[in-house]
Structure 1
Amino acid sequence: MTQFTRRAFTFSALAAVPALSACSGNGYNNNGGATIDARVDATLAQMYSQFPQTRDLAQKSAGMLVMPLLTEAGFGIGGGYGRGALRVGGATVDYYSATRANIGIQIGAQQYAHVLFFMTEQALQDFRINDGWAAGADAEVVFSNLGETIRAETTTALAPVVAVIFAQAGLKLGATIEGLKYSRIIP
């Protein structure tokens, strides 16, 4: 192993430390479902306040997965983690974690919230049946960050899953749900 390779490995490993620290210190590690529900309520209140158009999405949806805080970090090797709740009819029915791991050209850290609106009963059932559901091409991202308005387009209206990403903070550019794996948890 050359000096450069060891140095790159060391920096990559050190880049994971803030992500792990943020994940363990975000209040989710052992406070149970009540804490997750409180954060979900606060996240929904913030989303409805900043983006009133999302109320219409919520009313039309069969269910919503609310992830109040997803923390990502990377320096060559990256990852992310967060916890949230699935709400159907306004009530929490399950708790989920979202995880991501990747490798590539990247540096920085960020945190953001996102909500998945399941626009059909079939999309909601597919999500609930498939533990380890991965977000991908079947989710339409309608909002990304910083003051944009939600675009109500024909493709968005027909999408089985609509994702709203907001409340970005950090030094890493871009936020996406692609590549996130959602798994049911017991808080």
Structure 2
Amino acid sequence: MKIHSRRAVLTGATASLVLAACDNGVSSRGASTIDARVESTLSYLYTTYPDTIALRDKSTGILVMPLVTEAGLGVGGSYGRGALLVDGLPIDYYSATQASVGLQIGAQQYAHVLFFMTDDALYDFRNSPGWVAGADVQYAVNDRGGNLSTTTTTALSPVIGVVFGQAGLIAGASLRGTKYNRIIP
């Protein structure tokens, strides 16, 4: 008779949650599904937060992750798929993955967009074997009026991240430590 520790049971349950969360509705239905979700996400973003239109107009590229699913129970992870747009057209498709350990329980879904504000930042992103969001990403955040605000520091950053549309039980979403890899949908 095999006796399982509480840690082993929790780890197994968490792994099951994370794997179930990875099927975030984009699955493997191809580029057309991702493109439709990207278009819908950008429409929502620009309508809800019109200040992001200025970011779009100044950026050299935009990575749109329409749906990222995050789940955790002590150990957690997130997964999503999206497209990189240059001049408004999708040129590559990417997955976003993140793993975390710590005091966490729950699940949430959200969208995020990375605005590449310089050619160098876009070049570095496209030519890395797995780009990881780190300290170089600045965030535009919601103020109390529901508008997105950027500071002078943020406006001068090579990459600006916007996280929005959060729904779920985990408070807050951060892109730090998220790894982006090019995929073929």
Q: Shorter-chain TM-score: which interval?
A: over 0.9
TM norm structure 2: 0.93
Aligned match for 2:82, one of 81, 84, 88: 84
Paired-residue identity, %: 55
Aligned match for 2:162, one of 158, 164, 169: 164
After superposition, the C-alpha distances for 1:32-70 in whole angstroms (9 at most, x for unaligned) are 000000000010011011101111100110000000011
TM norm structure 1: 0.92
After superposition, the C-alpha distances for 1:128-185 in whole angstroms (9 at most, x for unaligned) are 0112000010000112598642223110111000000000010001101001000000
Q: 1:159 to 1:101 in 2, by over 3 A?
A: same
Residue 61 of structure 2: aligned partner: 63
What are the residue-to-residue correspondences of 1:20-99 with 2, within 5 Å?
20-24=19-23, 26-99=24-97
Residue 10 of structure 2: aligned partner: 11
Question: 2:154 aligned with 1:153, yes or no?
Answer: no
Structure 2: distance between partners of 1:58 and 1:132: 24
Give the 3-state SS of the residue equivalent to 1:130 in structure 2: coil
Give the 3-state SS of the residue equivalent to 2:175 in structure 1: coil
Structure 1: distance between partners of 2:98 and 2:119: 26
What 5-or-longer segments of structure 2 have no aligned partner?
A: none
Q: 1:76 to 1:95 in 2, by over 3 A?
A: same
Q: Could you tell me which amino acid in structure 2 is paired with residue 12 of structure 1? A: T
Aligned match for 1:119, one of 113, 117, 120: 117
Structure 1: distance between partners of 2:128 and 2:160: 18
Please report how far the alpha carbon of residue 12 of structure 1 lies from its aligned counterpart in structure 2 after TM superposition.
3.1
